Chains A and B, each alone.
Chain A
């Protein structure tokens, strides 16, 4: 531009950020400067175009919960003894759980749990899917506050409910894992006992044969001795 008005001033005016004296001065300048006027008209084109891109209606809602006691923590309490016993299936189960995001969806909302970081998030909508029922300006601030607090409490109730259900699921999973583990131990013990039994037999068998032989030998010795006596 040949005109010496800085572009910063032009931007301030274009977005209504000039006040009082500055605004009056610039408006006076515009009356005589065709260049600035033309420039402002040009800027209206991209600005207007940008407003043609509408926002989608979708909304989101994230709820944060601090978990009381997570399933993973409980598993971790048992991990040292699991390691000592080298029960693989349960360990695998624990590792698998540590690496995944747990995401469950319940009708209108979904939550995700990252057991690696312990992040737990829940997404739902506070609003009906058809969008806002009423423009915000038409409701008094008190009513709005009340409404927002009420809907927030409803969401929190829902979250608590979902969490307790999830807790129950976790308990079930945990019980199943323990059951599996116990079954494995039992199987391993049974196998060990069997092995032990076979080993015992393999030791006892020759021993029994030896004993028999000894017995026979002794019997023969006794017989011989008896015969000698009679003679």
Chain B
């Protein structure tokens, strides 16, 4: 799973359990990018993704002492992240962390919704064609059932092995593979309807 094992997770976990807070910070820094990438693909919003990662790391910080087997850490931390993201999608009106320097409110004072933010981003994007494809991909992916979408994100964007995904989601490996297959099938159907063909995708680079 790891290519950037500068310091082993196990060493950092042990350091933290011996009372060194900075060992935990190093562990968090090793993982936050991976967690952020996953959360961003899943929640489709940068601020939400950052908040989700913060929440996951706080949970890890509080519960690390209860993790009996440090070798399970990588699937455990992902499990926590997946559950937090799922929760956030379920409760879109939850309390938010508010950041002073990035406050985003409408004229009437209510926070800007994801869709409004999407629209803004589109206006700002100079490469209209690329952003168009990107938008189609996001929309297509958001129509895929959640359990298939998680697998697609972990496989296509995180590059996890099917075995690793099965461990995170705690389900049989063949279930993971079939969710992946039906998810891609579903995406193919939608993309075909939208006239996104092989040619469009391969020539566009």
Contact = CB atoms under 8 A, between A and B. Distances in A.
Contact of B197 (A17, A45, A145): A45
Interface residues of A, number: 49
A103 B97 contact: yes
A7 B187 CA distance: 16
A185 interface: no
Contacts of A148: 6, 29
Interface in A48-79: 48-56, 58-66
Contacts of B133: 49, 52
Contact of B184 (A41, A46, A54): A46
Nearest to B141: A50
B101 A50 contact: no
Contact of B6 (A15, A49, A105, A145): A145
B33 interface: yes
A47 B37 CA distance: 17
Interface string B172-185: 00100110110010
Contact of A43 (B21, B24, B184): B184
B98 interface: yes
A8 B178 contact: yes
B32 interface: yes
A101 B28 contact: no
A105 B191 contact: no
Contact of B22 (A59, A60, A104, A156): A156
A20 B168 CA distance: 27
A55 B40 contact: yes
Contacts of A52: 130, 133-134, 137, 201, 204
Interface stretch (B51-59, B65-73, B81-89, B107-115): B51-59
A59 B33 contact: yes
A103 B51 CA distance: 14
B162 A15 contact: yes
Interface stretch (A24-32, A86-94, A118-126): A118-126
Given A45-B196, A112-B54, A144-B6, 15 more contacts: A8-B177, A8-B181, A11-B177, A46-B140, A46-B184, A47-B156, A48-B202, A49-B133, A52-B134, A61-B32, A64-B24, A105-B100, A121-B54, A123-B54, A145-B7
Interface of A: 7-8, 10-12, 15, 17, 41-56, 58-66, 101, 103-105, 110, 112, 119, 121, 123, 126, 136, 141, 144-145, 148, 152, 156
Among all A-B residue pairs, the 8 with the closest Cβ atoms: A46-B187, A8-B177, A11-B177, A105-B101, A53-B137, A7-B181, A48-B201, A50-B156
Interface of B: 4, 6-7, 21-22, 24-26, 28-29, 32-33, 36-37, 40-41, 46, 50, 53-54, 57-58, 61, 97-101, 130, 133-134, 136-138, 140-141, 152, 155-157, 161-162, 174, 177-178, 180-181, 184, 187-188, 191-192, 196-198, 201-202, 204
